[in-house]
Amino acid sequence: MVMSLLTMSFSASVFILAIVIIRTLLLHKLPKRTFIVLWGVVLCRLLIPYDVSSRFSVYSIAHTLTSRFSGTDVSLNGASVTPHPTGITATAATLPAASSAPVPLFMVIWLIGSIACALFFLVTHLRCRREYKTALPVNHAFVKRWQQEHPLRRKVRILQSDRIFSPLTYGIFRPVVLLPKHMDWTDEARLRYILTHEFVHIRRWDTLTKLVMAAALCIHWFNPLVWLMYVLSNRDMELSCDEAVVRTCVGDVRSEYALTLLGLGERKSRFMPLVNNFNKNAIEERIVSIMKMTKTSLVGAIAALLLVTGTVIVFATNAPSVTATNTPVTDETRGIEMSGTDFPENKANGSALTDSASTGEASKGPDALSSEDTMTANEIEQLYAVYAPFGLTYDKEKDNFYYNGKLVRTFVDILSSNGEAMDSGKFQGSINQWISSDDKGEIDVKAVRDYNKPNGNGEGELIGIEIVK
């Protein structure tokens, strides 16, 4: 199902909070690539407007627990579901409160913010790139030898500059490793750590990843948790590269590598959003992580895999669709769309049947109910008796509706409505939809109600039944 921008942002926010909690508790106990994978899923959630449903989703769990303890209306992902007996599904297409504001104004504000954010990243990066143009090639025997021993598919240039204070990497398809000119070129161990770290960034396409993160931030600039994601994911990217360096080098090099970071972090680098660089801002976290680093065991790797899988299933998925939120009500079994039609003033915006596929929910007979909602046949018949004066009768033996003697295939009753058509995006109200349990019938009918005369439940007065053509 296609998701709106706000839905994408909210869903990703829940996932981000989960990762922040996991990161706080297990940062030094899990492989650092674990968090890189999790942040990657968050990026997909922020940028891909399609959701995946799972009954193990946190939203499914919340819905189940709430309905179990309350037994009343349950709010889920901006829509509400009301348990109803037998083959009726009641859905309240409730719009978020923010939707009452003018949509064009919101879009204008969002667009201005996105453009401003994108311009900030672009101008900052171009300013840095302009300074990089003064960089000169590195003519150093060890550097050349090391580069020959570590070939990559993409051609990598190693340059030096007197305008930077810590090593960095930039460029996606033609990567460049830029080293500070003032560094100690006689310390080959330090050079080895630095080059290994930067080459890990290049192998993993981290510059491209940073570009994608910046794009997500520009789109969701209004969400503070996305800014938090941007900061933490950049830190975890550096932590993961540190981990790779320590495990690549022979022997226990944690202390030496930590001292290298301290030496490079003595002077704080300015903000460089689209490059990979040694940064003083999170140096303490990196040092602690390096010193606590241990070899990942098989059990640890399996635990990390299970944690990633479970977290993604629970927090990166939505509950299976049980309501129609700002979408037409649809009979999926026959590809029939229930769309809004015009009625006299203050009467129901009912439903017409058209041959088109859509998405929605339709329950079919008593089997659709949970055991706690089951009613006796006599109770069901009594519930439906309200339609009898208008020619719509219910046969409890066959579990079917008949309208003036004709078998009903689909029956829709819009119990309450704000007067807007269901396909207008502004509809608010509740709907009962019934479909013949054997998927047969001669006609489709709808209820007509007068909403100027609501009952105690806010439902319009039933004034008739009409055949849908």
The two tokens of residue 232 are: 């933490």
Quick one: which of 320, 318, 319, 316 has its CA closest to 19? 316
9-38: pLDDT as tens digits? 999 999 999 999 999 999 999 999 999 999
- Domain match, 216 and 244 both: yes
Q: What is the pLDDT averaged over residues 192-198? A: 94
Q: Is the pLDDT of residue 84 over 50?
A: no
Cβ-contact 226, 16 below 8 angstroms: yes
- Domain match, 376 and 231 both: no
More confident residue, 78 or 33: 33
- Domain match, 38 and 182 both: yes
Question: Quick one: pLDDT at residue 212?
Answer: 96
Question: Quick one: pLDDT at residue 82?
Answer: 42
Domain membership flag for residue 65: no
Cβ-contact 409, 309 below 8 angstroms: no
Burial label, 428 (beta-carbon count in 10 A; 0-12, 13-18, 19+): middle
447-468: pLDDT as tens digits? 999 888 888 777 888 899 999 8
Overall domain count for the chain: 2
What CA–CA distances, in Å, run from 454 to 26, 73, 396, 458, 463? 55, 19, 28, 5, 12
- Domain match, 353 and 447 both: yes
Domain end residue (candidates: 280, 315, 350): 315
Question: Quick one: pLDDT at residue 339?
Answer: 40
The bridge status of strand 406-417 relative to strand 443-450 is parallel
Name 120's Cβ contacts closer than 8 Å, sequence gap at least 6: none
More confident residue, 66 or 420: 420
- Domain match, 275 and 375 both: no
Name 9's Cβ contacts closer than 8 Å, sequence gap at least 6: 46, 220, 222, 223, 226
Least confident of 106-120, 169-183, 341-355: 341-355
pLDDT > 90 in the chain, percent: 38
- Domain match, 331 and 272 both: no
Q: pTM for the whole thing?
A: 0.62
Domain membership flag for residue 91: no
- Domain match, 305 and 337 both: no
109 dihedral zone (left: phi>0; alpha: psi -120 to 50; beta): alpha
Largest alpha-carbon pair distance within the chain? 97
Residue 113 lies in domain: 5-53+100-315
End-to-end CA distance of the chain: 29
Question: Quick one: pLDDT at residue 131?
Answer: 85
- Domain match, 9 and 125 both: yes
> Which residues in 207-224 are b (16+ Cβ under 10 Å) and which e?
bebbeebbbbbbbbbbbe
Domain membership flag for residue 84: no
Confidence of residue 250 (pLDDT cuts 50, 70, 90): confident
Domain end residue (candidates: 315, 346, 361): 315
Confidence of residue 372 (pLDDT cuts 50, 70, 90): very low
Mean pLDDT over the full length of the chain? 78
Quick one: which of 206, 190, 104 has its CA closest to 143? 190
Confidence of residue 229 (pLDDT cuts 50, 70, 90): very high
Q: Is the pLDDT of residue 125 over 50?
A: yes
